[in-house]
Structure 1
Amino acid sequence: MDSGTLIAGRYRLDRIIASGGMGAVWRAEDGRLERTVAVKVLHAGLDGSQRPRERFESEAKILAKLKGPGCVEVYDFGEQQDGDRTVLFLVMELVEGMSLAELLHREERLDPARTMRFMAEAAEALAAAHRAGVVHRDIKPGNILIDTDDRVKVVDFGISLFANRSRLTPSGDVLGTAPYVSPEQLRDKGVTGSSDLYSLGAVAYECLAGTPPFNAEDPAAVIHGHLYSEPPALPGDVPVEVAGIVSRSLQKTPEARWESGEILAAAARAATTGQHPVEGTVGSSANATAADVPATARPPFLSPAEPPVTPPARPATVEPPEDGPRKRRRMVLVGIAVAAVLTVFAVVAWSPWTGDGGVSAGDDTSATTEVAATTGEPSPTASNEPSETPSETPTDEATTADSGEDGDAGEDTGGEEDTNNDTVKEGSGEVPDVKGKTTFEARDYLNELGFSNVVATSGMWYGYPEPEHCQVMSQTPNAGETIDYTERIDLSYHYRDSVGTTCEW
């Protein structure tokens, strides 16, 4: 496809605004209705085993079912011949703005009032999806767009799942993005709308703290945090009402979280007023203050404004010494636990990139990590396709449909990587050396040269002095190699935990 191509006799392609493993999203003009739209076009030559056509069509049906202010409107879906191949296309509302991931990269933290407003609008969009029987399963900053009116659009239902429908990927795959994935997704214990609310709570936590609730380069540590640990304390300037909303969203069991997206939205809006909606009601904020926040919503990780009071010391107890068999039994169990942890780490670090998606480890949309369902314990493996998300273009445009393949068990293609090139180049070109640039500088430079499929992944880089945050340390293919302009380029970057903002899009 080239700039100027006419789709279905009415949609004239202008330029690519996002591109990924499954397809590209174009800014286009609808000649019949004289309006600007987003046209998503499926790539040619995709692996048939991934069932791209079915997934693309399923995505269109999912988006068409969703109605609400935070949902994207679908205008058209179809196919047409382009030479000897059939081109599938999806026409949608074009959203002008940027992703929340890009906003957090710029601002690091958001104030509580703005965070709660974003959370409320996203929760309402998710409620619309849940009413339609759709679970998103990959809520993260890159899949929340902020338009030019500072309003939220939830996008990329790429790995979403229809209730009571069969999956398009093996049933053992547990999918999502590691810093935001719910415990039940990791255990593959039945994913519902409550899983989306957990992920939204993790996103809100990042907005308030500048980092996800469980932030580590080791995916096994992130997974362990979601399953067993409480998040670190939120900053002391976060009001107790706001922290209570986030805390309840991040409860380990679905039953302890908010009952629905509507109730969460009402609570989030009321939190910044110093009131809390009456339990079990929608939109009510009558006579309920921070003191009335239910115990399940109390933030165990809230950092209080005053130093905490140290509880009285308990009387020391002396346990009887362990006998020989008991002690040996404990040592055996400890040895087994250590071996299991080392095995998880080894699988995460060294397993081949396989599968059609997975749980993305890292700050936002880094290299994905697939979690296989077992008897309840995570078994991370790496995935081939990163979870890609839309980000800001030169004119702050972000499309609501992501065309990158995001390791999914359902029906979409994952997030998109923004591109800045006005036209899509055909043929091939020599890859430049972008090491030393930030991931965003490298992406923009490669896009200008015509390379439209750039992916950033977090690596483990050590040295003195420490590399800069988001600095590209290696690239694949290497500089000097000649590749197709649509071929994927991986940028491995250094991530500083102390900074906490995303280096990806």
Structure 2
Amino acid sequence: MDSGTLIAGRYRLDRVIASGGMGAVWRAEDERLDRTVAVKVLHAGLDGSQHPRDRFEREAKTLASLKGPGCVEVYDFGEEPDGDRTIVYLVMELVDGVSLAELLHREERLDPARTMRIVAEAAEALAAAHRRGIVHRDIKPGNILIDADGRVKVVDFGISLFANRSRLTPSDQVLGTAPYVSPEQLRDKGVTGASDLYSLGAVAYECLTGTPPFDAADPAAVIHGHLYSEPPALPADVPAEVAGIVSRSLSKSPEERWESGDVLAAAARAATTGEHPVAKAIGSSIGARTAEVPQAPFTSPPQPPVTPPPAAVEREEDPRRRRRIAFIGVAVALVLTAIAVLALNPFSGDGNVAGDEDTTPTASASDPGSAAAQEPSSTVSATPTESAAQTSAAADEGGTEGDSGTESEGAEGGGTEDEETPDGNEPAQEGSGPVPDVTGGTTFDAQDQLNGEGFANVTAEVGYYYIRPEPAHCTVIQQSPAPGETADYSAPITVYFHERTAEGTSCLL
């Protein structure tokens, strides 16, 4: 197409003002109505398997169905022959302004108040689309226009998704732009209006910081960030209310984001007026999330007091309380002495009281004066903490009461544990160490290497990667925890691999 071309006998093209994957947008003159318009012309030679013409028509119908201050008005749609090809065009309202992408390129960062105004108007436009069952799927700075009066328009619904309509793309194809795409889009777990709100949250983050929430040259690292990581903290000059709005928009789970674009818009507007976004704009339906909007420096609540050792108690208590404690201590000592005398009475039999349940002595292991504290015995009652530790150790080592007579016998002295580990080595699941780098090899190589380093709990999951040249089947691209991090040997280690479905063999461990 050239400047001066006349389309449909009325739209004379002037100059290209934007270009995308599907078409170029021209500034043009409608000679019939004597007004300036925007004409989007479908690129020639697009891959027919992607249904470009159908998608272009869908965009025209989508825009025509939307009404609201943030929506672009559609004037015309059609096609006409041009030699050996057909020109498909869409005529729209001309937004005399710049895209948010251009604005950020020029200014790098926007102040919080301006950011929230843009978010509010964009969210309202998205709400209008969501009410009609339309999900944009490609919210990014380049698709948000700001006119000369500062009003926001959301454009480019070329890959939008209609509820209850057939898809124009394969179900396993991820659509969107990597720095702003939602986790569920990457996983193909069902895209909803909440996906657009996540992308809008990523746009807001970029407005406030100058970079997207996950900014890396490697697309795989960006995708991993959306799926598993939290973005870096916002600058200190961003108010807590604004930070809370962005944080909630970027929640990994769609259910934890804003209920709708209208609710997000109300919260964003409230943040610019200094009102609390939850209490003033959102209502009681999300009151449970109020704590997520930071209001002041967090102060840890007081912790329950830890009982100090007896000596410390004696130093802190008043004299009357010390006397009471001393009296109780003397009384307990007398009772224990009486029990010991009865147990050692030569007239009570052969002295073997362990077999008589009615007369078994119970000595406290914490009493320094008792024989039980000085000498191990199977009849000593352990403290609750000791019992729990012994039971856990026995369970970990596979021991049972039947193996050792009594549970305490198997736990004390390490007898049972020594029998199960005769070589004296520590069990593989105890301790910790640095996680080795297993990327680049297959999932099976990764498992062998991790097992060799002592990490026994290794699992593999398929990842979503767009890398050229394409990695080999089962190649590990990412891992969690990351290489070099210290982890328990029993902790789960997950490796994420690239899958070539045509290979047919499973990469799962």
Give me the TM-score of the superposition, normalised by structure 2.
Answer: 0.60
Structure-2 residue corresponding to 1:195: 195
Alpha-carbon distance in 1 for matches of 2:194, 2:282:
25
Larger radius of gyration: 2
Structure-1 residue corresponding to 2:252: 252
SS of the residue aligned with 1:62? helix
Deviation for aligned residue 1:221: 2.2
SS of the residue aligned with 1:263? helix
Structure-1 residue corresponding to 2:8: 8
Deviation for aligned residue 1:313: 13
Q: 1:330 to 1:253 in 2, by over 3 A?
A: farther
Deviation for aligned residue 1:167: 1.1
Greater helix share, 1 or 2?
2
Q: Would you say the 8 A contact 1:240–1:299 is kept in 2?
A: no
Deviation for aligned residue 1:338: 9.7
Structure-1 residue corresponding to 2:262: 262
SS of the residue aligned with 2:273? coil
Structure-2 residue corresponding to 1:350: 469
Residue identity matched to 1:109 = R
Q: Would you say the 8 A contact 1:37–1:93 is kept in 2?
A: yes
Structure-2 residue corresponding to 1:228: 228
Alpha-carbon distance in 2 for matches of 1:4, 1:108:
36
Residue identity matched to 1:251 = S
Structure-2 residue corresponding to 1:296: 289
Structure-2 residue corresponding to 1:45: 45
Alpha-carbon distance in 2 for matches of 1:200, 1:157:
15
Deviation for aligned residue 1:334: 5.1
Alpha-carbon distance in 2 for matches of 1:149, 1:314:
60
Alpha-carbon distance in 2 for matches of 1:314, 1:22:
66
Q: 1:27 to 1:251 in 2, by over 3 A?
A: same
The answer to whether structure 1 residue 124 and structure 2 residue 117 are counterparts is no
Query: How far does the alpha carbon of each residue in 1:342-368 deviate from its partner, in whole angstroms, 9 at most, with x for none?
Result: x877x635329xxxxxxxxxxxxxxxx
Deviation for aligned residue 1:193: 0.3
Deviation for aligned residue 1:240: 1.1
Structure-2 residue corresponding to 1:61: 61
Q: 1:228 to 1:273 in 2, by over 3 A?
A: same
SS of the residue aligned with 1:45? coil
Give me the TM-score of the superposition, normalised by structure 1.
Answer: 0.61
Deviation for aligned residue 1:28: 0.9
Note the aligned Cα RMSD (angstroms).
3.8
SS of the residue aligned with 1:173? coil
The answer to whether structure 1 residue 272 and structure 2 residue 272 are counterparts is yes
1:80-99 to 2 correspondences below 5 Å: 80-99=80-99
Deviation for aligned residue 1:297: 5.5
Residue identity matched to 2:49 = S
Q: Would you say the 8 A contact 1:120–1:268 is kept in 2?
A: yes
Q: Would you say the 8 A contact 2:39–2:90 is kept in 1?
A: yes
Q: 1:144 to 1:325 in 2, by over 3 A?
A: same
Deviation for aligned residue 1:307: 9.4
Structure-2 residue corresponding to 1:149: 149
Structure-2 residue corresponding to 1:432: none
Deviation for aligned residue 1:22: 2.8
Deviation for aligned residue 1:218: 2.2
Deviation for aligned residue 1:153: 0.7
Aligned residues: 347
Query: How far does the alpha carbon of each residue in 1:279-324 deviate from its partner, in whole angstroms, 9 at most, with x for none?
Result: 6xxxx54999xxx984535558x7x986987998999x99979954
- Quote the sequence identity (%): 73
Residue identity matched to 1:45 = G
Alpha-carbon distance in 1 for matches of 2:131, 2:187:
24
Q: 1:59 to 1:287 in 2, by over 3 A?
A: closer
Deviation for aligned residue 1:119: 0.5
Q: Which runs of 5+ in 2 are unaligned?
A: 307-384, 398-425, 431-446, 472-493, 500-509
* Larger deviation, residues 65-74 vs 318-327: 318-327
Deviation for aligned residue 1:85: 2.3
Greater strand share, 1 or 2?
1
Alpha-carbon distance in 1 for matches of 2:138, 2:305:
44
Query: How far does the alpha carbon of each residue in 1:141-171 deviate from its partner, in whole angstroms, 9 at most, with x for none?
Result: 1111111111111111121100121211111
Query: How far does the alpha carbon of each residue in 1:407-435 deviate from its partner, in whole angstroms, 9 at most, with x for none?
Result: xxxxxxxxxxxxxxxxxxxxxxxxxxxxx
SS of the residue aligned with 2:9? coil
Deviation for aligned residue 1:229: 2.0
Q: Would you say the 8 A contact 1:236–1:305 is kept in 2?
A: no
Alpha-carbon distance in 1 for matches of 2:448, 2:208:
45
Q: Which runs of 5+ in 1 are unaligned?
A: 353-375, 382-505
RCO (CA 8 Å, sep 6+): is it higher in 1 or 2?
A: 1
Deviation for aligned residue 1:49: 2.0
Alpha-carbon distance in 1 for matches of 2:152, 2:176:
20
